[in-house]
Chains A and B, each alone.
Chain A
């Protein structure tokens, strides 16, 4: 599911903060992912223990949050955003 060779056509996923305890900070997905629900399924297949934290996360592409209606493209870079803890 995760390619070791980076490919410009693959979907890229970046995770931050506590999510790095569940996933590598940046990885790629070879299989087509059409929306955030499918991405969550894929992420849980990688690490089933991430279910609780993923429930609290939002998803972003470039500089905007997306919801499940957003149609992901195979070369998108998806940012998984856990709850903020700045300040």
Chain B
């Protein structure tokens, strides 16, 4: 599910950073984005609270907020899925997600960036991973969000096990980039790197290179 919230055109016209927030659901003060982990751990064994995350994703300088929710579906490759179970190497996964978010924040001038990934069993329809990006204009918020989820999926040491309705299970859907790049540390992302012009004429920042962890 991808949900994008965009303010009215007037509000998207570069409001000053010091503008007072207005409207329901807008946070009173911009959050310190140096590290979200105190409030929202990067890796969570608990259900992800999208409403609470989104409540913390508003910023007076952001005219666009994009929320991506990766959710568990009931089928994969022709098999009926009962649920997924995720595990991770927490210390490294948290550090990598933090670094990915920080890098994206700088590259796309994001006001807010948040991400969380579930571990443990996740039911059909529940959120396994969430990424929220907030920026002055929608183009940066969309591009950064897509890049962040790509990198988390390819790089962070998080793994899923599919449990099927027939009682079997299988670890799978691994990143297979190494078969193309020849390097377990190099990945190919769905998002094309590089600057992009938007329909509104906004030139967009240079996208980060195809970095590897």
> A residues touching B (Cβ–Cβ < 8 Å)?
14, 16-18, 21, 56-58, 60, 62-65, 79, 81-87
Interface residues in B22-72 by Cβ distance below 8 A to A read 70
> Are A17 and B92 in contact, CB atoms less than 8 angstroms apart?
no
CA distance A81 to B185 in the complex (A): 11
A24: min CB distance to chain B, Å: 15
Given A82-B159, A85-B158, A86-B158, A18 and B171 touching (CB < 8 A)? yes
Residue of B nearest to A15 (CB): B89
User: Which of A14, A16, A57, A63 is the one whose CB lies under 8 Å from B184?
Assistant: A57
Given A60-B157, A86-B159, A79 and B92 touching (CB < 8 A)? yes
CA distance A86 to B129 in the complex (A): 8
Given A60-B157, A62-B91, A63-B91, A83 and B174 touching (CB < 8 A)? yes
* B 154-193 binary contact with A (CB < 8 Å = 1; else 0): 1111111100000000011111111000001100000000
Residues of A within 8 A of B112 (CB): none
B48: min CB distance to chain A, Å: 13
> Are B178 and A56 in contact, CB atoms less than 8 angstroms apart?
yes
A14: min CB distance to chain B, Å: 8
B132 at the interface (CB under 8 A from A): no
User: Which of A21, A63, A87 is the one whose CB lies under 8 Å from B149?
Assistant: A87
Q: Give the total number of A-B pairs whose CB atoms are below 8 A apart.
A: 84
> Are B117 and A86 in contact, CB atoms less than 8 angstroms apart?
yes
> Are B92 and A16 in contact, CB atoms less than 8 angstroms apart?
no
The contact sample of 24 A-B pairs, CB cut-off 8 A, is A16-B88, A17-B159, A17-B161, A17-B171, A18-B159, A18-B174, A56-B184, A58-B184, A58-B185, A60-B157, A63-B92, A65-B213, A79-B89, A82-B159, A83-B175, A83-B176, A84-B155, A84-B156, A84-B157, A84-B159, A84-B175, A85-B173, A86-B88, A87-B149
> Are A84 and B89 in contact, CB atoms less than 8 angstroms apart?
no
Q: How large is the interface on B (under 10, 10 to 19, 20 to 34, 35 or more residues)?
A: 20 to 34
Residue of A nearest to B94 (CB): A63
Interface centre among A14, A60, A83 (most CB of B within 10 A): A83
> B residues touching A (Cβ–Cβ < 8 Å)?
70, 86-89, 91-92, 95, 117, 128-129, 149, 152-161, 171-178, 184-185, 213
Interface centre among A17, A81, A86 (most CB of B within 10 A): A86
Interface centre among A57, A58, A65, A85 (most CB of B within 10 A): A85
Residue of B nearest to A84 (CB): B175
A49: min CB distance to chain B, Å: 15
Closest 3 CB pairs of A and B: A86-B158, A17-B159, A87-B153
A80: min CB distance to chain B, Å: 9
> Are B70 and A84 in contact, CB atoms less than 8 angstroms apart?
no
Residues of B within 8 A of A87 (CB): 70, 117, 128-129, 149, 152-153, 158, 160
